[in-house]
Amino acid sequence: MLKKILALAGLLMMCGAAGAQRDMALEAGLAKTPPMGWNSWNHFAGKVTEQDVKDAADALVSSGMRDAGYVYVNIDDTWEGERDAQGVLHTNKKFPDMKALGDYIHARGLKFGIYSSPGPLTCARFAASYGHEQQDADLYASWGVDYLKYDLCSYGILMQAAVADHPDDPDIGNKMMKAAYLKMRTALDKTGRPIVFSLCQYGDDDVWKWGPDVGGNLWRTTGDIQDNYDRMAKIGFGQAGLAKYAGPGHWNDPDMLEVGNGHMTADEYRTHMSLWALLAAPLLAGNDLSKMTPETKSILMNKAVIAIDQDALGVQGDRVSQSGDLEVWSKPLSGGGVAVGLFNRGTSAAPMTLKLSDVGVKHAAHVSSLWEGANPVVANDEVSASVPAHGVVLLRVEP
Ligand code: GLA
């Protein structure tokens, strides 16, 4: 086993050295703005079926979400079956015909995403790509896949084993991890199909510092989100300081949206959506799109909020100030404007006042409030508002 792991590590490191030869041209133009779409995991998890994915594709069209920018239909873990004697991976019986499903998705003007791991098994213990990277990349391309989420999972066990066997090289695990991601990026490029590459390894080893070097178009910065305010807020507000690592083609990913899954209040979901927009985060809805309340739709499809996320300048926002439960975050926009979020993490409504000069605006020509119901008052280059419990007042300020 040890010999096998060493051979593997050596091989993967060689791939790393060949990294400069990656076909960068293929990646050009991918994920110029943070990817938007839907992913099956947060709501359906291991139960997702072909029909659920078709229903999601249909709902993206009929709800107007596709036209608002949500184009990726991403199947997460549990679609995988067994490999045959030639090593070709087959789907399990929940997904009888992946090529036909890809066609179904594409016929609706949408894009098709899939999921695997660099380890032998995915996180849900289904077959993954270890030792079959090119074969899998070719298979995805033959199905018309446009997006791959590549989730570390069981590869971590190989990394730990190598670290235990190499006390002289404590970084060996991290080197293996980078090489494994680069190996799949290289395999994807070789297919000739432009495929967005989503790294998922929970933010280990400051992935934001090396994600672009292994061809990642986005990388998870944290462990998994859950549909509750505390977890969402811990992740979202925990993104402070990461802005400089994001930009067109390479984004920080604080995980998928929980909007509409039912365990947060409307104010909490508006906080979630606003914060993700200010963070220029990927907007991957994680709810059952075939059963959305008007309130869920109004949050996911607020065009002014989506425009903050998708702004062409491609600069991630950051925290401007924090005082107890109250935080101000801002994001520079193309054309010289700025988006500002006044967040109240406390459990009762609180007044907040923003001096526009604190977010770099001297004289505000125009301040608009992006969620209905908030009534900020603008006077003397200051904006004042009552911010609901766990809520937000989101502003767009144009100079
Ligand atoms: C990990 C990822 C999740 C999801 C599951 C699937 O936990 O972080 O987003 O993909 O695996 O098993």
Distance 332 CA to ligand 1 centre (A): 32
Query: CA torsion sign, 252 to 255 to 256 to 260?
Result: negative
Residue with tokens 């909020």: 305
Give the pLDDT score at 27: 56
Give the pLDDT score at 380: 87
Nearest to 136 by CA among 125, 122, 124: 122
Cβ(78)–Cβ(46) under 8 Å? yes
Give the pLDDT score at 283: 99
Measured from the CB, is residue 80 less than 6 Å from ligand 1?
Answer: no
- Could you confirm whether 224 is annotated as catalytic? yes
Measured from the CB, is residue 79 less than 6 Å from ligand 1?
Answer: no
**Chain centroid to CA 130:** 23
Measured from the CB, is residue 151 less than 6 Å from ligand 1?
Answer: yes
Distance 41 CA to ligand 1 centre (A): 7
Measured from the CB, is residue 204 less than 6 Å from ligand 1?
Answer: no
Distance 185 CA to ligand 1 centre (A): 19
Give the pLDDT score at 12: 44
Measured from the CB, is residue 41 less than 6 Å from ligand 1?
Answer: yes
Give the pLDDT score at 24: 53
Measure the CA–CA gap between 376 and 347, rounded to whole angstroms: 20
pLDDT in tens, 128-139: 999 999 999 999
> Crossing angle for the helix pair 229-237 and 266-278, nearest 10 degrees?
20
Give the pLDDT score at 392: 98
Which of the residues 224, 318, 358, 381 is marked catalytic? 224
Regions in the chain scoring below 50 on pLDDT: 1-22, 25
**Ligand 1 atom nearest to 224, measured from its CA:** 8
pLDDT in tens, 319-361: 999 999 999 999 999 999 999 999 999 999 999 999 999 999 9
**pTM, rounded to two decimals:** 0.94
Q: Give the mutation target among 43, 116, 200 for probing the ligand 1 site: most ligand atoms within 8 A of CB.
A: 200
Measured from the CB, is residue 140 less than 6 Å from ligand 1?
Answer: no
Give the pLDDT score at 28: 62
- What are the helix and strand counts (H, E) for the chain? 14, 18
**Ligand 1 atom nearest to 115, measured from its CA:** 10
Phi-psi region of 376 (alpha: psi -120 to 50; beta: other; left: phi over 0): beta
- Could you confirm whether 204 is annotated as catalytic? no
- Cα torsion 38, 289, 50, 122 to 10°: value is 40
Report the nearest-CA residue for atom 9 of ligand 1: 224
Measure the CA–CA gap between 284 and 392, rounded to whole angstroms: 21
Cβ(331)–Cβ(310) under 8 Å? no
Measured from the CB, is residue 77 less than 6 Å from ligand 1?
Answer: yes
pLDDT in tens, 148-178: 999 999 999 999 999 999 999 999 999 999 9
Beta bridge partners of residue 284, listed in sequence order: 37
Distance 217 CA to ligand 1 centre (A): 18
Measure the CA–CA gap between 372 and 227, rounded to whole angstroms: 23
Q: What is residue 386's three-state secondary structure?
A: strand
> Crossing angle for the helix pair 155-165 and 2-17, nearest 10 degrees?
100
